[in-house]
Amino acid sequence: MSGRLDSAQPYVIALFRIVVGLLFAVHGAASLFGVLGGAAGTDGGTVPAGTWPGWYAAVIQLVCGVLALLGLATRGAALIASGSMAFAYFDIHQKAALWPIQNGGELAVLFCWTFLLLVFTGSGAFGLDRLLVRRMARERKPATEQTPVAA
């Protein structure tokens, strides 16, 4: 049974990455463009451009979410996303109360640890990272040398 589960791991990680990336990107899009109900606490509005930290967090969410969704620069995007959620928790949420259930920071904590996991697992199957690495490996492979034909 373990062998079958292990062989499915890259595919499950890819599905995990796709869902998490989509959810993270949707948060950023809602805050930046007012779609899907808009930014939290704005009654369907957007975060004003350039405001700290909300607008920058939304840009990180959108860009890193899309990169994770596509499996492109997954580890770097996940590291930035994880750090931004750690910042959100400690700078915004923890001021209200110690525990995430008390301060509304559960989502920030979950995204932080989720993206930290992706830093270590990578994109899994179906990621553009893998396609690019394979393509680069094929291009770097030296052409087979032809032996000169004797005259």
Is residue 14 within 8 Å of 123, Cβ to Cβ? Answer: yes
pLDDT tens digits in sequence order for the chain, 151 residues long = 778 888 999 999 999 999 999 999 999 999 999 888 777 766 767 888 888 988 999 999 999 999 999 999 999 999 999 999 999 999 999 999 989 999 999 999 999 999 999 999 999 998 998 888 888 888 887 655 555 566 5
Residue reference for tokens 């499996």: 71
**Domain residue ranges of the chain, discontinuous segments joined by +:** 2-140
- The pTM assigned to this predicted structure is 0.83
Q: What's the confidence (pLDDT) of residue 143?
A: 57
Amino acid at site 23? L
